Amino acid sequence: MKKRYSLKSLEEMPITAISFLTTEGNETGEWRSQRPLLDLEKCNQCGLCWMYCPDNAILPEKDSFQISYKYCKGCGICAKECPKGAILLVKEKR
CB-based burial of residue 58 (10 Å sphere; 0-12 exposed, 13-18 middle, 19+ buried)?
buried
Nearer to another protein, 15 or 83 (CB): 15
Nearer to another protein, 2 or 91 (CB): 2
Nearer to another protein, 7 or 59 (CB): 7
Residues 52 and 82: their CA atoms lie apart, in Å, by: 10
Using CB under 8 A as the criterion, which residues of the chain lie in contact with another protein when the complex forms? Answer: 4, 7, 10, 13-23, 25-26
Residues 13 and 23: their CA atoms lie apart, in Å, by: 18
> In the complex, what is the shortest distance from the CB of residue 70 to another protein, in angstroms, rounded to a whole number?
15
